[in-house]
C-alpha cells in the first residue's frame, strides 16, 4: 500500500512546450494560448497494488 500527497498550481500566462520553454503555443489565428485561470489543486490518495 502506498499513500500519495500532491499538488498542482497554475498561474496565468502562456502555455509553453516542456521541451522548449521559450516557445509559447499559438492558436490558428497566431494568438498565444493562455489557461484563462489561476489556481491550486491538491490531492491525497491511497494506492493498493493488485
Per the structure, the count of domains in the chain is: 1
Please give the pLDDT value at position 46: 93
Tell me the residue ranges of DSSP E strands in the chain: 2-10, 39-47
CA 8-14-18 angle, 5° bins: 65
Among 33, 30, 27, smallest CA distance to 14 is for: 33
Please give the pLDDT value at position 45: 93
Domain that holds residue 14: 2-47
| Mean pLDDT score across all residues of the chain | 82
Q: Which residue has the cell 521541451?
A: 19
pLDDT tens digits for range 24-47? 778 899 888 877 778 888 999 998
Please give the pLDDT value at position 43: 92
Amino acid at each position: 500500500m502506498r499513500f500519495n500527497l500532491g499538488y498542482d498550481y497554475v498561474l496565468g500566462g502562456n502555455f509553453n512546450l516542456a521541451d522548449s520553454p521559450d516557445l509559447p503555443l499559438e492558436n490558428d489565428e497566431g494568438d498565444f494560448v493562455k489557461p484563462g485561470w489561476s489556481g491550486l489543486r491538491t490531492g491525497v490518495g491511497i494506492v493498493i497494488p493488485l
